[in-house]
């Protein structure tokens, strides 16, 4: 039987990411090419304060980006806290394919990107800088992802009331190969040097062709604490459906930190090797996009604990 290709991405902008990924598949690309194309689209197109060039900066006004990419054979690459490079997911892929390493960070990641021919651009937009300056007036350092970000009320951002927008994308291609990618500017006003879950294999992303793939969005510290995307894949390995695996991982987050879980968001998206997609979130409001030959723009609401 030939496999039915499918792509799934986090949040409402996942529809656009899926379309780019789908085009890559249709052009003969692999699942890996597809997730890179989807993440590149998000990095290059979105102006949403948490992915790529329009991301909000850290506490010191510096925009630092995290990204990872992984395929179903366990090949993976990541960059963390990289500055002034527009496509961190592509650098992550270069780390995977052109170095013996898995992750490069900060100045070293940027140096590698420049050596690979990526261009250096200042990515901080005037809007992001203005938001940072507004935040600095109070400079309350408690980056709660469910709170409206300074200067941007949730109501101004329809369809995304939870207000955190890491792109996580998963793909299955016609040969049955799986891949995933993540790209984010992390949490606004984070401490300089803070790294979230998105570039950490097993936390923000995990892919295993034998089982399936998972990715996450929300407060990355919780994903790291729980090796969460790995956990979701392992739960699928034990026979859970993608949704049940995501739900159980969310329950694990709650059990570990019941108090904190009331005020922060955690969301998982998973796909098994048959292309079945599921999701679950801690709080209401997580949406995800699914694309296959039959449906190109499906946007689904994840169930949640609260
Ligand atoms: C992080 N998981 O860096 C990311 C945050 C996120 O939109 O989802 N932001 O913790």
List of the chain residues with pLDDT < 70: 1, 141-164
Give, for ligand 1, the residue of 46, 81, 219 to mutate: max count of ligand atoms closer than 8 Å to Cβ. 219
Cβ 166 under 6 angstroms from ligand 1:
yes
Closest ligand 1 atom, residue 195 Cα: 3
pLDDT at residue number 50: 77
Closest ligand 1 atom, residue 221 Cα: 10
Closest ligand 1 atom, residue 164 Cα: 7
ipTM over 0.90: yes
pLDDT at residue number 144: 54
In angstroms, rounded to a whole number, what is the distance separating the alpha carbons of residues 79 and 91? 7
Cβ 164 under 6 angstroms from ligand 1:
yes
Asked if 171 and 215 count as a contact pair (C-beta separation under 8 A), the reply is no
pLDDT at residue number 254: 96
Give, for ligand 1, the residue of 164, 200, 225, 281 to mutate: max count of ligand atoms closer than 8 Å to Cβ. 164
Is 297 exposed, middle or buried, given 0-12, 13-18 or 19+ CB atoms closer than 10 A? exposed
Residue 239, Cβ neighbours under 10 Å: how many? 8
Residue 93: both structure tokens together: 């892929």
In angstroms, rounded to a whole number, what is the distance separating the alpha carbons of residues 282 and 185? 21
In angstroms, rounded to a whole number, what is the distance separating the alpha carbons of residues 7 and 213? 11
pLDDT at residue number 55: 87
Cβ 58 under 6 angstroms from ligand 1:
no
Q: Please provide the DSSP assignment of 104-131 as one string.
A: EEHHHHHHHHHHTTPPB-----HHHHHH
Cβ 220 under 6 angstroms from ligand 1:
yes
Does the pTM surpass 0.90? The reply is yes
Closest ligand 1 atom, residue 10 Cα: 8
> How close is the Cα of 222 to the center of ligand 1, in Å?
10
Residue 45 annotated as catalytic: no
> How close is the Cα of 251 to the center of ligand 1, in Å?
19
Asked if 51 and 204 count as a contact pair (C-beta separation under 8 A), the reply is no
Give, for ligand 1, the residue of 9, 220, 268, 283 to mutate: max count of ligand atoms closer than 8 Å to Cβ. 220
pLDDT at residue number 160: 39
Active-site residue identified among 50, 166, 184, 215: 166
Is 97 exposed, middle or buried, given 0-12, 13-18 or 19+ CB atoms closer than 10 A? exposed
Tens of pLDDT, residue by residue over 153-194, are: 343 333 334 455 799 999 999 999 999 999 999 988 999 999
Tens of pLDDT, residue by residue over 70-106, are: 999 999 999 999 999 999 999 999 999 999 999 999 9
> How close is the Cα of 218 to the center of ligand 1, in Å?
5
Partners of 85 in the β-ladder = 120
């Amino acid at each position: 039987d030939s496999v039915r290709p499918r792509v799934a991405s986090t949040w409402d902008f996942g529809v656009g990411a899926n379309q780019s990924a789908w085009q890559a598949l249709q052009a003969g690309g692999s699942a890996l090419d597809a997730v890179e194309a989807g993440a590149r689209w998000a990095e290059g197109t979105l102006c949403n304060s948490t992915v790529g060039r329009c991301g909000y900066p850290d506490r010191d006004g510096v925009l630092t980006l995290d990204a990872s990419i992984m395929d179903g054979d366990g090949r993976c690459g990541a960059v963390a806290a990289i500055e002034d490079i527009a496509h961190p997911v592509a650098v992550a892929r270069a780390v995977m394919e052109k170095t013996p390493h898995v992750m490069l960070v900060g100045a070293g990641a940027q140096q590698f990107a420049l050596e690979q021919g990526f261009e250096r651009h200042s990515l901080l937009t005037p809007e992001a800088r203005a938001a940072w300056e507004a935040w600095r007036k109070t400079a309350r350092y408690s980056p709660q992802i469910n709170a409206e970000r300074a200067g941007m009320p949730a109501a101004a951002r329809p369809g995304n009331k939870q207000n955190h927008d890491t792109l996580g994308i998963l793909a299955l291609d016609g040969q049955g190969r799986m891949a995933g990618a993540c790209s984010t500017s992390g949490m606004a006003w984070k401490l300089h040097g803070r790294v979230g879950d998105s570039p950490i294999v097993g936390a923000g992303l995990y892919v295993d062709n034998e089982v399936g793939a998972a990715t996450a969005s929300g407060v990355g510290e919780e994903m790291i604490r729980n090796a969460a995307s790995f956990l979701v894949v392992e739960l699928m390995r034990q026979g859970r459906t993608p949704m049940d695996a995501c739900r159980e991982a969310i329950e694990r987050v709650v059990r570990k930190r019941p108090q904190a879980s009331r005020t922060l968001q955690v969301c998982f998206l998973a796909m098994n090797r048959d292309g079945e997609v599921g999701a679950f979130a801690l709080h209401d409001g997580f949406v995800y996009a699914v694309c296959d030959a039959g449906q190109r723009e499906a946007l689904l609401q994840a169930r949640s604990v609260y």
